[in-house]
């Protein structure tokens, strides 16, 4: 959740790296296990994957990158773009 390395998390919680790694692996196993995964993770229905917005589907610029995407977590797509005068400030940024 924090995006920090194990060493930093261990330092923050005053635990060894081995302890942090052990509990991290336990949590990954729990989240990937069948009871938790099947109850809390749901993929979009097959019909919703076929209903792609026409602006994306017919655009040669967008479709090669979005053709295999199954949607956001809740199945919604949110269009976002910068104002034209701000585009150059964010060009080639990570």
**Is residue 23 a part of any domain in this protein?**
yes
Residue 23 lies in domain: 6-89
Query: What's the CA gap between 12 and 5, in Å, rounded?
Result: 11
**Is residue 94 a part of any domain in this protein?**
no
The model carries a pTM of 0.42
Question: How many separate domains does the chain show?
Answer: 1
**Is residue 43 a part of any domain in this protein?**
yes
**Is residue 50 a part of any domain in this protein?**
yes
pLDDT computed for residue 62 by the predictor: 80
- pLDDT surpasses 60 at 50: no
How far the first Cα of the chain sits from its last, in Å, is: 20
The more confident residue out of 17 and 45 is 17
pLDDT computed for residue 17 by the predictor: 92
């Amino acid at each position: 959740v924090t995006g920090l390395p194990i060493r930093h998390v261990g330092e923050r919680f005053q635990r060894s790296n081995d302890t942090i790694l052990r509990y991290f692996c336990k949590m990954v196993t729990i989240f990937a296990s069948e009871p938790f995964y099947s109850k809390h993770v749901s993929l979009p229905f097959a019909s919703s994957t076929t209903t792609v917005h026409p602006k994306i589907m017919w655009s040669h610029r967008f479709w090669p990158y979005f053709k295999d995407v199954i949607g956001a977590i809740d199945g919604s797509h949110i269009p976002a773009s910068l104002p034209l005068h701000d585009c150059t400030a964010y060009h080639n940024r990570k």
